[in-house]
């Protein structure tokens, strides 16, 4: 189980805004960050096939595919529509129009996101600046006196860890990295300054007493001893 020291000297409150793309609709777009890129995934929650059409415009982003994107999604399935990669050091925005046509329905339903969703990359032009930015983000966002847990959606390990923290009555701060690019970046910044270079990790990621834990193999045993760490 990787365990490393966090170098934190101050503890301020992280103030941020975030967005959740998943809505109470049968077909919707989910945004998923993978390393430095952002995936737009069309999710079908219905028990019938649907054809989706995505029209997207962007600024300061590289796209994995161009033009109108059309995909057929099977019942209760999802399809990755496009991957967007922000250009380093620039503020990147995008907006999209999603049209859906259900099997047996001759008319398409269109949803348009009229507000560009901002995505600002913190990847800097130099390693020195990147290191400084990462440390600043960690100092602002993680209080060494409190347990911090980074979780993801549909993560049973994360749900179990949260349940155990509640049972043991341990005060904690939870960051959902799937719902906020700010929180996702904060997690990777904490790992970055300790030498973990944005590879694959196993959730959850937990910090306590200036130490960080991730890719925990025996999560049950780890959580049982959490009160003593």
Among 120, 141, 165, the domain-final residue is 120
Kindly state whether residue 29 falls inside one of the protein's structural domains: no
What's the average model confidence in pLDDT over 158-168? 94
What's the average model confidence in pLDDT over 201-209? 88
Tokens of 184: 């996702």
Q: Do 130 and 223 reside in the same domain of the chain? A: yes
Q: Do 221 and 136 reside in the same domain of the chain? A: yes
Say if CB 59 and CB 92 are below 8 A apart. yes
In whole angstroms, what is the distance from residue 45 CA to residue 100 CA?
13
**Predicted local confidence at residue 165, as pLDDT:** 95
Count of domains for the chain: 2
In whole angstroms, what is the distance from residue 222 CA to residue 5 CA?
17
Q: Do 63 and 113 reside in the same domain of the chain? A: yes
Kindly state whether residue 65 falls inside one of the protein's structural domains: yes
Domain that holds residue 8: 3-14+124-228
* CATH number of the domain where residue 51 is located: 2.60.40
Among 83, 99, 120, the domain-final residue is 120
First-last CA distance in the chain: 14
pTM: 0.47
3-state secondary structure 156-204: HHHHHHHHHHHHCCCCEEEEECCCCHHHHHHHHHHHHCCCCCCCCCCCC
Q: How are beta strands 78-86 and 37-44 bridged, if at all?
A: antiparallel
Kindly state whether residue 189 falls inside one of the protein's structural domains: yes
**Predicted local confidence at residue 168, as pLDDT:** 93
Structure confidence by residue, pLDDT tens digits, 59-105: 888 888 888 899 999 988 899 999 888 877 777 778 888 888 877 66
Q: Do 170 and 198 reside in the same domain of the chain? A: yes
Q: Do 106 and 79 reside in the same domain of the chain? A: yes
Q: Do 87 and 158 reside in the same domain of the chain? A: no
In whole angstroms, what is the distance from residue 147 CA to residue 171 CA?
7
Among 92, 120, 148, the domain-final residue is 120
């Amino acid at each position: 189980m990787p365990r490393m020291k966090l170098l934190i000297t101050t503890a301020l409150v992280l103030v941020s805004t975030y967005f959740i793309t998943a809505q109470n609709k049968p077909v919707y777009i989910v945004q998923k960050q993978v390393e430095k890129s952002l995936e737009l995934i069309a999710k079908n929650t219905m028990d019938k096939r649907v054809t989706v059409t995505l029209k997207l415009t962007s600024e300061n982003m590289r796209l994995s595919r161009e033009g109108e994107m059309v995909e057929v999604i099977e019942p209760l399935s999802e399809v990755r529509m496009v991957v967007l990669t922000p250009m380093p050091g620039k503020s990147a925005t995008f907006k999209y129009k999603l049209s859906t046509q259900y099997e047996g329905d001759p008319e398409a339903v269109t949803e348009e996101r009229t507000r560009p969703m901002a995505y600002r990359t913190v990847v800097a032009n130099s390693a020195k600046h990147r290191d400084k930015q990462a440390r600043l983000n960690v100092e602002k966002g993680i209080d060494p006196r409190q347990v911090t847990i980074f979780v993801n959606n549909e993560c049973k390990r994360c749900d179990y860890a949260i349940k155990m923290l509640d049972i043991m009555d341990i005060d904690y701060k939870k960051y959902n990295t799937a719902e906020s690019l700010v929180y996702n970046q904060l997690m990777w910044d904490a790992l970055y300054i300790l030498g973990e270079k944005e590879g694959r990790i196993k959730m959850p990621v937990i910090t306590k007493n200036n130490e960080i834990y991730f890719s925990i193999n025996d999560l049950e045993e780890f959580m049982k001893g959490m009160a003593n760490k």
